[in-house]
Amino acid sequence: MILNIRHTGIVVKNLESSIDFYTKKLGFNIKVQSEEDSGFIDTILGLENSDLITVKLSLNDGAMIELLDFKSDTINIPKRHIVDTGPTHMAFTVDDLDDTYQSFLKDGIQFISTPQITPDGFAKVAFCSAPEGSYIELVELLK
């Protein structure tokens, strides 16, 4: 039986810029950073000669993401599109989307659109690009 969602894993090429984005812009804290055992990683992921650094980041409520930086040049990570099959984005609730939007724009973070109110008036939402081609949905609850 599943007890909870443990974490979301995100493969990155530039670990430092990703750590910077998730800690400084989204408020995550570094929980643990480690160099993984290549034999174990090769076995569970079906790889050969992997060289992996992982960083687990958490929020105060326990939500966690794991950044995976494969140092091997043999692993190709294609850029994803927001409508690709499979996981495409993570959503975060914010207290003031307009303020967050302006702050992110100042730091050069690109958005698909300006913040929009949902047709039911329940929330205001906007999608932005995160490092490495993943997407973040920012949601401000209005009701």
Averaged pLDDT, 123-139: 88
Q: Is it the case that residue 118 has pLDDT exceeding 80?
A: yes
When comparing pLDDT for 82 and 104, which is higher? 104
pTM over 0.95: no
Torsion sign over Cα 5, 126, 131, 26: negative
* Domains contained in the chain, CATH given: 8-70 (3.10.180.10), 89-141 (3.10.180.10)
Which of 13-22, 69-78, 130-139 is most confident?
13-22
41 and 47 Cβ atoms separated by less than 8 Å: yes
